[in-house]
Amino acid sequence: MKQIKVLGSGCRNCEITAKVINQAAAEAGVEIELEKVTDIAAIMGYGVISTPGVVVDGVVVHSGGVPGPAQARDWVRESPG
């Protein structure tokens, strides 16, 4: 199971990002564990300055905006990177 974290303050873009990822996983039939990280120190620990950020299996794959559906599908289907 893929572990995916959405890094951000809980703003609208962070919520949309989480929904895009959940929808992509559902469409792909892939089970994921989605966690929302709102602690600023934890977010900075990943080196993310611009949110929302996305971490897949411990690897930062995105930061600074809402990802597109195709991008999210790639994350739930493939290895990070």
Task: Indicate which residue of 14, 18, 54, 55 is catalytic.
Answer: 14
- Whether a cis peptide bond, with omega within 30° of 0, leads into 67 is no
> Is residue 41 among the annotated active site residues?
no
> Is residue 14 among the annotated active site residues?
yes
Task: Indicate which residue of 3, 11, 27, 59 is catalytic.
Answer: 11
* DSSP annotation string for 6-31: EESSS-HHHHHHHHHHHHHHHHHT--
Distances (CA, A) of 30 to 44, 47, 61: 29, 27, 18
Task: List active site positions.
Answer: 11, 14
